[in-house]
């Protein structure tokens, strides 16, 4: 596995053909491998795609899509929206009123206090 670490990217990251680790802000696209994507300051939109991904929203009201695979989604601060997708996913919105959409598979949703919406979470 080849890991890539980018300290800051502004804008959009194109998907790559290898697993990657990316820290950026804006819109982020994972790969078919196991990705680690860390959002930056402000609002991020993160797509994990295939693989068993770890996706972190960072600060700001983020939207995170796990995709296929057993993913771990962390909204962190602000009111985030987390979509687990297919697979057995772990969704943790963090410290604000987050929205959870588990999807197909056995999904665990954490920190749901003050959550305006959660769906398809089998464990809390």
Q: What is the pLDDT of residue 16?
A: 46
Q: What residue segments make up the domains of the chain, in order of their start? A: 10-119
DSSP string, 50-85: SSS-EEE--SS--EEE--SSS-EEE--SS--EEE--
Q: Compare 12 and 105 and report the one with higher pLDDT.
A: 105
Q: Above 80 in pLDDT, residue 63?
A: yes
- Nearest of 17, 20, 41, 37 to residue 28 by alpha carbon: 37
- Is the model's pLDDT at 9 over the cut of 80? no
Question: Given pLDDT bands bounded at 50, 70 and 90, which one contains residue 101?
Answer: very high
Whether the predicted pLDDT of 88 surpasses 70:
yes
What's the pTM value of the predicted model, to 2 decimals?
0.79
State the average pLDDT over residues 94-118. Answer: 87
What pLDDT sits at residue 17? Answer: 42
């Amino acid at each position: 596995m080849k890991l890539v670490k980018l300290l800051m990217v502004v804008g959009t990251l194109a998907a790559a053909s290898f697993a990657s680790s990316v820290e950026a802000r804006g819109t982020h696209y994972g790969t078919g491998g196991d990705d680690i994507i860390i959002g930056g300051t402000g609002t991020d939109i993160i797509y994990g795609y295939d693989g068993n991904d770890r996706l972190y929203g960072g600060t700001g009201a983020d939207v995170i899509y796990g995709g296929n695979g057993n993913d771990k989604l962390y909204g962190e601060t602000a009111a985030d929206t987390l979509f687990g997708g297919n697979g057995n996913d772990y969704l943790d919105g963090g410290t604000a009123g987050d929205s959870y959409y588990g999807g197909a598979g056995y999904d665990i949703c954490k920190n749901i206090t003050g959550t305006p919406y959660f769906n398809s979470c089998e464990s809390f």
